[in-house]
Structure 1
């Protein structure tokens, strides 16, 4: 048993041989399934120009999912500040908070959400990547506009995403809850947490440090099935490790025929050691270890498995074995 709330991060993969609309039509059923299982919140990530992940604006997915659920918190994990006008984000999420009172989170991150340089420039209207100072100014402006220009109560709950000490330091200085991207840079997690907790300053948003840790989790009835479901994301990760262009998200059958180099196998094993894959017993033990290691207030699970039934089954098995989710 883990006496922590559990939540969900959705990255909206688009499997090879399907269209983005096929992923979109699963948005409402997935949100309803997550709500039915009792998870606390569901966040959507911002991505652009990826053949494997849909370019679906989080604010649109949040609105769509919120309209088909009643208790689930919905939010961004994250909306990427350098790609947007701060006032626009404040107005969008303020409107959502007015429509779905007490259910909207505004998770803010820094990255461009794409590996394509031309797309990154287009998102910035031809501008260069945001500097640290520009990003910090954007986050501060978003918070100011939320409080000064958005005449709705309650306001959306702001979070800052962090995968480095720079993000942790900003979250601490502004007194924001932090969502740690353990599923992206697990080796940074200890330093991120130490930086955040040691420098935290109370604010109107948060009286004491509040930590959410996101972990990649694939749970199935057997080790063999978990391995099969993890195959497509392993192929995607191997490509990224080699610095090659992104490819469509393969089917489990396609992934089973992929041959990894020894270096790729080593890197994937090192990453996997920090995440949670396997049977319910193995996943529950790993999540418990991660909760104890990080002292997290909440765990967020991301399950990059395309088939809706397999994703929901993974979350169901975790709920049955782990216990506390609400």
Structure 2
């Protein structure tokens, strides 16, 4: 049994042959579905210029989800701070928090949200990648503006996303809860968690270290069905291994017909072994092991399966078999 809260990350994959607007229209139904299942929070990731992932601003999806639900926490996982003016971020999420009291999270990250250098520069008004000092300044400015300039009422709950020890150190120094991107860089997880806990300084935002661990999770009644549903994301990942970021999100049938190189197969197998893909028994076992190894306070499940029914089925199976704590 797994007695810690469970949450969901919406990546908004756009299936080959469908339209981004179709994915967008599913977001409200998905939000209501994970709310009914008892998930604690639902976050939206920022992505740009990808044929596989919808370029839907997290703040817009957060507002839409908040209006479509009643109790689940909603927010960004995350809004990428260097892409936005800090005051704008504070005003947007401060307004949402005032409209939906005690339900809004503001998860902030560093990456550009795209593999296209031209798009990244356009987002950052011609600037290159943010330095450590610039990123820290952006995050600190958002927090300051929330308190001193916005302050419409209840504030959003800030989180910092981290996939490296540098991100963990910043979260610890600012006294923020940390969301660890195990679903992106699992080999860094242990070092990230250790660095965060060892350097944590209490703040007005968080009195003690709080760790949320995000895990790629695809659950089905059988191992074979879970692997089938997870196949499309494997094709996208294989493209990234080759430096190809413009690969669309295929159907499961297209993914099953894809020929992987031996190197890709080895890399994908190593990654999958650190995530949670399989039958309910396999998935619950892996999630429980990760929670025990990291001491995570909460698990967030990322399920990059496009079909709405299959995605919600995965979340439902996990909830029904692991006994995760409620909200």
Q: Give TM-score scaled by structure 1 length.
A: 0.99
Tell me if 1:127 matches 2:124: no
CA RMSD of aligned residues (A): 0.6
Q: How far apart, in 2, do the equivalents of 1:250 and 1:138 lie?
A: 36
State the alpha-carbon separation in 1 of the partners of residues 204 and 127 from structure 2: 33
- The CA deviation string for residues 118-161 of structure 1, in whole angstroms up to 9 with x for no partner, is 10010011111111110000000000000101122210000000
> Would you say how many aligned residue pairs link Structure 1 and Structure 2?
326
Does the 8 Å contact 2:50/2:245 carry over to 1?
no
CA contact under 8 A between 1:160 and 1:176: conserved in structure 2?
A: yes
What aligned pairs does 1:137-176 form with structure 2 within 5 A after superposition?
137-176=137-176
Aligned ranges for residues 115-264 of structure 1 at < 5 Å? Answer: 115-264=115-264
Within the alignment, does 1:57 sit opposite 2:63 as a pair? no
For 1:283 and 1:36, the matched residues in 2 are separated by 21
* CA distance in 1: counterparts of 2:127 and 2:158, whole angstroms: 26
Q: Does 2:82 align with 1:82?
A: yes
Q: Deviations over 1:60-113 (max 9, x none)?
A: 000001101000100100000010000000000000000000000000000000
* Alignment partner, residue 294 of structure 1: 294
**Which stretch of the first structure deviates more once superposed, 54-63 or 147-156?**
147-156
Unpaired runs of 5+ in structure 2? none
What TM-score, normalized by structure 2, do the two folds share?
A: 0.99
Q: After TM superposition, where is structure 1 displaced by more than 4 Å over at least 4 residues in a row?
A: none
**Partner of residue 308, structure 1:** 308
1:325: Cα distance to partner? 4.1
Q: Where do 1:258-277 residues align within 5 Å?
A: 258-277=258-277
Aligned equivalents of 1:124 and 1:30: distance in 2?
Answer: 31
The reply on whether 1:318 has 2:318 as its aligned counterpart is yes
Aligned-residue offset at 1:209: 0.3
Q: Is residue 25 of structure 2 the alignment partner of residue 12 of structure 1?
A: no
**Does the CA contact (< 8 Å) of 1:72 and 1:103 recur in 2?**
yes
> In the alignment, is the contact (CA less than 8 A) between 2:5 and 2:297 conserved in 1?
yes
